Structure 1
């Protein structure tokens, strides 16, 4: 049988046929297509591959030329069209949407002050943190931490802002903005913070990339608003916040800032101890510059009525502000005056326009007596509800539903009642949280109370109450309601539906009204020493948007990486051949053919054992395992590794020169073959019953992890670490899984879940995180690779059959 060299087509192999004139590889595409059909087109011959190792591998006689016989698995002339190139506007964009990390950019996550993180994964079943860190900072932290882009932003009483890595707590940058004031500068010995810097929670403009913080400096003694660039901590601007009439000796900036209408809103109240005179001030600072907006409604000798609640103010979609005020100093009487001019604006609820013009108000019938008994409404800010109402309460434990269109004036709420078992004095402080149908209220000395809101009838009633815990302002994340106990010491998570306490962890001492933050599965707690963070199960998560890589895929993609940000992706094309695309430094090379016949319904499997090395495996048209490799300079020819496959293969490598390949056999069980650097083993049966292609990865020498879908659509996991182990994870998987290891002891596993969305889970070294949705609609098994420690690249075929890619960590 004459041998025909491949020559310049592919320098590493030759083919032989029974006809010396059929030197198909030496032909151009046009010559090949003109070749006499009686000799080539549709002809059936035995064909042999002669790869560089000179071993002979015979392709079955059933291989047909022009059905990819001469080129597929021989990689001869590239006569077939590549997958379709990406267009600038794909006709169908997969509904995969990336999360670039939690955007908790203001107090309790949003301007409505709901404190609800709907993007958090389920924490169901958690009994403790999977990971935790603490960061000592240069001052006490009264403000709620903020989160954006997987950074945690923290402001201290030393007038310093930090950006901390969400996963480690290490400082990315810090910016000391001024020298804080000291308590002795406050009038009359009032106040309970020393030193006094940034107390109110800052706010982030994610579009502009700017954090705004208000703080007090000691010399000159005044408030300032700082604009800090969140990417590097650069100070962009400083604005004075001490207009005539606002005296820092009597006015404290305790409430959270808010951003709306391209304006930063800053509320002011009095210091602890009520040293007078102080007033209910709100300042508005246009972010583009311009005159300061001010609101201070008191006249004559009126004073008090400060806006001091840690939650600050709420904003509706039209930019209107809603606030509660504290005690005024009007004399108690019975009944209390109901003339607007006699009302000192104490113990009420206010609605202000974006330009800080008062629109409406609410004051309970006993507003003047609340003044006299120090039972502020202003201990908490209103909570805006989706039905156009707002919930308000205060120290008295009384709650009201008010219409946001008109608050009701004197004693005309939509509904009012005592908040379940809350005390009737010194009861509710800080802030609320909301997850339909419950408003979560922290009742000091009693516990956390859930009120069930009847939006249709504008009523609320008792839902559940969790005692044995004196809660701070709550938030909602992962199906749990989180609260830090008064003055710190304990973080607790309560079942959102029942109030049953699910998890508790110890934390450092903290100020009375601190509230935690939810960030990508981390719960972040401010303390007197800095911040502490606890991860309850959120890996993996996406850090970029999905981008098309083009192509028209006829299989699931598979990816491999040798590190350094380099990724290679392989897929079956519409010509049934193998195609590849690689990314190095952020740019894709474009799709290129590698030939071969990849069996319909099966995707390739790829792995790298080190820089410059790639190994790719396919199920051929004969259902055998075929292998091709790249050694840094060129591609080898194909070699057959035999077997009878009923799935696509996948491979892992735990060190240079080692390959482990896994397939499903005709018995539906898992089969294994490995290369030890010198030769291939025989096939090893590992049993089980697989309902998908297997997936394999390794996190280090001597370790293998293999995943597949079971017949009842759960996740099968087998691992080798000196001996084979196994487990079944009760996760609803509707595709084959794929896995990557972002580091030693770590695994990220992906699959399609409910409604064909992409889902993920992770092994953190001590347990599995929650199986959670990453969004989207996939039409293939996903594929993952970890091009640098702690990260992954995720690939999936979209609804337009092209490939889409996103990054995560």
Structure 2
């Protein structure tokens, strides 16, 4: 059985004959290799324009920074078994979508905000940073316990209580089948009040220390300043979580906290700089890594470094090996010899994630590879990371260093004895391993460099064959671009989503990682989850036309049609598109043509093999006059339910203007001594009630008659 919190294989019952892969954690496993070796559908032979592309997208309510996670064959109450992809957003929502069928779509959604009661996401200006905009909610990739069916995620909220702004971070444990909270969750990790000048720590962990923001000899977890950016780690029944900062806004420290996966009780506390400052654990979203012996590995950002002086222990710009037990303790570390220069120039070693390599031949079988903002690739020995300046003032006692070429806001990936890096302003490179060393120059490389953020690659393969390297390019101010390369030869680019208009993604999110599972690739963007896969249908053009005397907009549920401005989009044949018509001020929606199904202002179309168009009709909202008269010998009143008509006992005729299409309901009431005699000119009549639909100027008459009685006189007597 696969270890909990790692990429595992789940054997499906019934007719399914092969095991499906589950992606339960950042970069697929706790070693953070990024590889899925159980992909039997996608191959270098069929991933190509025309046979592979965007199948469908689902809109979500915020930016998707976290890597999508995937679990096959989840049994949802009342919905049966589904392959499910999970998405977390900066709007503090978690979604569960059917991973294969766009027609099924959303299975469940939970939100951790309640604006009506003062609970919202955190505005960037509150943390004095524009690194994550326009809101801060869920940033770090969740982790799933496949054994218990639980998704663990950290959400950040702003909660105004009695006029005071509380900044709160919580750990949620969600049932993957329903989204319901488990184990008595959520639990509050930290609650900090900041009114613009003073800070109050309501609750949260603390450690002894005199560092930045300390109070009375203790450093408290600041739920406003700490940014939960790194991917969560599930290890031996404990959920480990790392924090850094928003930009470098102090006071902050690097934190790693552990919580019992079954009870959510605190299990471990570690602070990287308790007597100094900074040293965040962020790794551009990379996950805390772990080896088979239960040690945790991470890299830290710029900050205080001191292992012998007055600020010790402080581990800024370092790779740390933490022993897990009763608490987290530093078992070993590596710090570059130029750490002081790195810290002074904001050259975080900790901007890059760590990768634990499979055992290598030679005297040092247990290796770790990472890189930071200065772009140097470090290969270190996990059994002896190298310390600080052990071999001299300008010497790093590590296994190997490769010279910098572009900074790394990235994490490397591993496949078939090769390490893949995509640093900033550099091309994707594959470095072979030989006798426990990286071979330079690289075995192969792509031809097109990425911009400032580089990329974190993912690997799909069927065992050791059919390897594909997937990478997301975060184009500046533009759409994300999904790239696929032959893992054996990176100069052979198989596919790019920019090659076909039908495959264009929404706006890019930095540090995003694609998830590959069961023949599909899942990509989170600014406001959507997009699903790529094989398609036998060619792309077709779908267009919306508008006609009539009025105006309005037509939008599609997936956001690709917004007409208005964008009335044409390309889709794969077989895609079902749902459109909604909304009239502009002064116009009315009059109907559809060309739809397969219509329900009011909604139109659905399933595209075939050729181009398709539909038409929405909007007309100017005309004004008509309703005239109400009274006839007969009696008297009474006529009123409309909207108050526009009010014809009292002395009124003979009255009128009021109405918009085209308005339904007016009139009611007649006879005065004393009169009776109501009936209506004329109505569309429908029910007793004393008349309804009129204003499709033209209309006249209605209510008849009242004087009530008449018969006097009968009889004579009697002789």
Map of 1:503 onto structure 2: 495
Q: Which secondary structure does the structure 1 equivalent of 2:240 belong to?
A: strand
The 5 Å alignment of 1:549-588 reads none
Map of 1:202 onto structure 2: 142
Map of 2:469 onto structure 1: 481
Tell whether 2:327 aligns with 1:373. Answer: no
The 5 Å alignment of 1:334-373 reads 344-355=314-325, 356-373=328-345
Alpha-carbon distance between aligned partners in 2 of 1:180 and 1:405, rounded to the nearest angstrom: 45
Map of 2:65 onto structure 1: 142
Tell whether 2:108 aligns with 1:173. Answer: yes
2:278 maps to which of 297, 301, 304: 304
1:211 maps to which of 135, 151, 154: 151
Q: Which secondary structure does the structure 2 equivalent of 1:359 belong to?
A: strand
In 2 relative to 1, CA 537–422 (structure 1 residues): closer, same or farther, beyond 3 Å?
farther
Q: Which runs of 5+ in 1 are unaligned?
A: 1-95, 331-335, 539-763, 767-809
Map of 1:384 onto structure 2: 356
Alpha-carbon distance between aligned partners in 2 of 1:224 and 1:105, rounded to the nearest angstrom: 20
Aligned-residue offset at 1:99: 4.1
Map of 1:164 onto structure 2: 97
Give per-residue Cα distances to partners, 1:34-91, cap 9 Å, x unaligned.
Answer: xxxxxxxxxxxxxxxxxxxxxxxxxxxxxxxxxxxxxxxxxxxxxxxxxxxxxxxxxx
Q: Which secondary structure does the structure 1 equivalent of 2:343 belong to?
A: helix
2:179 maps to which of 233, 254, 263: 233
Alpha-carbon distance between aligned partners in 2 of 1:110 and 1:173, rounded to the nearest angstrom: 26
Aligned residue-pair number? 437
In 2 relative to 1, CA 134–304 (structure 1 residues): closer, same or farther, beyond 3 Å?
same
Map of 1:422 onto structure 2: 405
Map of 1:118 onto structure 2: 37
In 2 relative to 1, CA 365–534 (structure 1 residues): closer, same or farther, beyond 3 Å?
same
Map of 1:458 onto structure 2: 437
In 2 relative to 1, CA 97–350 (structure 1 residues): closer, same or farther, beyond 3 Å?
farther
Structure with the higher fraction of residues in strand conformation: 2
Alpha-carbon distance between aligned partners in 1 of 2:233 and 2:334, rounded to the nearest angstrom: 22
- 8 Å contact from structure 2 (residues 255, 281) kept in 1: yes
Give per-residue Cα distances to partners, 1:576-608, cap 9 Å, x unaligned.
Answer: xxxxxxxxxxxxxxxxxxxxxxxxxxxxxxxxx
TM-score using structure 1 length? 0.51
Map of 1:517 onto structure 2: 515
The 5 Å alignment of 1:236-275 reads 236=182, 237-242=185-190, 243=204, 244=206, 245-272=220-247, 274-275=248-249
The 5 Å alignment of 1:489-638 reads 489-499=480-490, 500-505=492-497, 506-536=504-534
Map of 2:256 onto structure 1: 282
- 8 Å contact from structure 2 (residues 22, 71) kept in 1: yes
In 2 relative to 1, CA 205–537 (structure 1 residues): closer, same or farther, beyond 3 Å?
farther
Give per-residue Cα distances to partners, 1:520-577, cap 9 Å, x unaligned.
Answer: 1101111001211101489xxxxxxxxxxxxxxxxxxxxxxxxxxxxxxxxxxxxxxx
RMSD: 2.8
2:385 maps to which of 392, 401, 407: 407
In 2 relative to 1, CA 375–338 (structure 1 residues): closer, same or farther, beyond 3 Å?
farther
- 8 Å contact from structure 1 (residues 337, 343) kept in 2: yes
In 2 relative to 1, CA 527–361 (structure 1 residues): closer, same or farther, beyond 3 Å?
same
Q: Which secondary structure does the structure 2 equivalent of 1:401 belong to?
A: strand
Aligned-residue offset at 1:463: 2.1
In 2 relative to 1, CA 311–99 (structure 1 residues): closer, same or farther, beyond 3 Å?
farther
In 2 relative to 1, CA 195–520 (structure 1 residues): closer, same or farther, beyond 3 Å?
same
2:426 maps to which of 407, 424, 446: 446
Q: Using the TM superposition, name which of 430-439 and 458-467 deviates more.
A: 458-467
Aligned-residue offset at 1:406: 2.3
Aligned-residue offset at 1:276: 1.0
Alpha-carbon distance between aligned partners in 2 of 1:339 and 1:415, rounded to the nearest angstrom: 27
Tell whether 2:84 aligns with 1:151. Answer: yes
- 8 Å contact from structure 1 (residues 185, 249) kept in 2: no
Map of 1:333 onto structure 2: none
Alpha-carbon distance between aligned partners in 2 of 1:208 and 1:438, rounded to the nearest angstrom: 34
TM-score using structure 2 length? 0.58
Q: Which secondary structure does the structure 1 equivalent of 2:252 belong to?
A: coil
Aligned-residue offset at 1:391: 0.6
Aligned-residue offset at 1:322: 0.3
Map of 2:48 onto structure 1: 127
Alpha-carbon distance between aligned partners in 2 of 1:205 and 1:765, rounded to the nearest angstrom: 42
- 8 Å contact from structure 1 (residues 398, 416) kept in 2: no
- 8 Å contact from structure 1 (residues 190, 275) kept in 2: no
Q: Which secondary structure does the structure 2 equivalent of 1:472 belong to?
A: coil
Q: Which secondary structure does the structure 1 equivalent of 2:341 belong to?
A: helix
- 8 Å contact from structure 1 (residues 475, 483) kept in 2: yes
Alpha-carbon distance between aligned partners in 1 of 2:310 and 2:416, rounded to the nearest angstrom: 35
Aligned-residue offset at 1:177: 2.5
1:313 maps to which of 284, 288, 293: 288
Q: Which secondary structure does the structure 1 equivalent of 2:23 belong to?
A: coil
Alpha-carbon distance between aligned partners in 2 of 1:318 and 1:186, rounded to the nearest angstrom: 41
In 2 relative to 1, CA 765–339 (structure 1 residues): closer, same or farther, beyond 3 Å?
farther
Q: Which secondary structure does the structure 2 equivalent of 1:114 belong to?
A: coil
Aligned-residue offset at 1:192: 2.8
Q: Which secondary structure does the structure 2 equivalent of 1:513 belong to?
A: coil
Give per-residue Cα distances to partners, 1:479-537, cap 9 Å, x unaligned.
Answer: 11000102443100011011021111132212111110011110111100121110148
- 8 Å contact from structure 1 (residues 400, 413) kept in 2: no
Alpha-carbon distance between aligned partners in 1 of 2:17 and 2:253, rounded to the nearest angstrom: 45
Q: Which secondary structure does the structure 2 equivalent of 1:378 belong to?
A: helix
Aligned-residue offset at 1:353: 1.6
